[in-house]
Structure 1
């Protein structure tokens, strides 16, 4: 079945017009709390993380306005509101946005009144919730917090299948949360502030994902920068900088960490 065929019957619950005319899972996405992984695993995550982010020219599409940055920001804001409403894990929200960005890199949404963005956001959030949440609300209950359009469950399920196809069924992605526990342990070997570092870094990460400029950075750089920013809130910790972070694991770049730190 062709891409256009798959989309031809994805109908909005409010409208009857047509919506618009690529490996096995690589790693765990579980949010690392205190179960720190081995450094060799972290190095492999860094090596593979490029496979779970949009292509290098994705950000430039927003800068050139071939993609609508304001529509993306609105969609991410809605995902975060629903995450808070249902008490979903931070990882669920991050994965939802990751699926959305990877889909948009490969497929263009139609230039309509905005409902394709809402449908894509609902489908990505539903998929992420199924991956990470022990209890997943119904597809109707998922569409809360100011959703502009309400879609029938069968419509969202069809969109889920399209997202799965475009993402080649690779939902278990490498995210910043694959690194935060390990980096927190590196920064605070005593373990006295690890819980705070992870929690604060999580807040920093989620507060930045609405910005299209966030897409310039890979998960490891985002995690390292977030941990460094979180450390700034602990007066008893010595000062750390991207040069220190670069030594935490092979593959980290102090330049990219420093650039990310400046944006927080």
Structure 2
């Protein structure tokens, strides 16, 4: 017996309290590692071990989709995230689904609408994973969406994404490591909140860059924590070499490369000082200077005929005294 399309959608549009598909996954995607295990060290080690399932060579996505086009659709996802005040993890999952889908399956190049539909579907799935309140599909298409799709078409695309990703919506993200790495730098917890908040900003600001697809989540987390910590004078001495003692399984060379890439992007995005504007001097051509030489000589000879008297008055040599 064939399965109807409505039956598929009943699974896709499951309730928030359902544990058959999304319930267990949403807990694993949470960035609150304190509730996962009494031994946080073992939890982090387990996450790094699970990163072996992370899709390698993600940069092959750019063989089909150039970096500028990818950045355009990721920028739209970020705009919607800010519009609805979604969690940062929602943005990360949306982009992760987007990249993983294109890594496994290509879309027809037809005026860009398949990529727009894919970005809407990925954002909708991520919002259902992480957000308590999810806007209707029509309301989700805001902030300059090029095409407005009907909800049924978005739902069909959602189902296609789920099938291509093999229903594996659980994704280890850099957010899983931020609190742990921040506490390694600042065991007292004095600046932990600032470091983690700054690290989240760095991750979201760099998520449009396709170059970061070459790095694992733990590597991105370590590099962002280093960048955030270096903004504070007390931790300006912290380098990637210090990350070697944070946890086993971290690759210092990769962290160094990711850190340098982040710093380079930060420097490139800083507003440059406007150049100093020098006063404009009127440069006369030689011909005009020679033609006006007679005027300048006559005016100079006239000025020499006037001489200042001791009482502050002026007198022309050929005229009387004048005020």
Q: Is the 8 A contact 1:201 1:229 kept in 2?
A: yes
Matches within 5 A, 1:1-264: 25=25, 28-32=28-32, 38-51=40-53, 53-56=54-57, 58-62=58-62, 65-237=63-235, 239-264=237-262
How has the CA–CA distance of structure 1 residues 235 and 36 changed in structure 2, closer, same or farther, with 3 Å as cutoff?
A: farther
User: What's the TM-score, normalizing by structure 2?
Assistant: 0.70
For 1:149 and 1:49, the matched residues in 2 are separated by 36
Higher relative contact order (CA 8 A, sep 6+): 1
Rg larger in 1 or in 2? 2
8 Å CA contact retained: 2:33, 2:176:
no
| Residue 60 (structure 1) shift | 4.0
- Per mean C-alpha deviation after superposition, the further-off stretch among 37-46 and 84-93 is 37-46
CA deviation map 1:12-57 (0-9, x unaligned): xxxxxxxxxxxx8597221338769611111111111242x4332x
Q: Which blocks of at least 5 consecutive residues in structure 2 are unaligned?
A: 6-23, 263-323
| Counterpart Cα distance in 2 of 1:262 and 1:68 | 23
Distance in 2 between the 1:204 and 1:177 partners? Answer: 12
Q: CA deviation at 1:95?
A: 0.4
Cα 1:27/1:74, change in 2 over 3 Å: same
Q: SS in structure 2 opposite 1:44?
A: helix
CA distance in 2 between counterparts of 1:188 and 1:242 reads 15
Corresponding residue SS for 2:107: coil
**How far 1:80 moved relative to its partner?**
0.3
| 8 Å Cα contact 2:121-2:155 kept in structure 1 | yes
Distance between the aligned counterparts of 1:237 and 1:106, measured in 2?
41
SS state at 1:155 partner = helix
Separation (CA, whole Å) in 2 of partners of 1:34 and 1:254: 25
Q: For residue 20 of structure 1, what is the aligned residue in structure 2?
A: none
RMSD over aligned Cα, in angstroms? 2.0
Shift of 1:112: 1.4
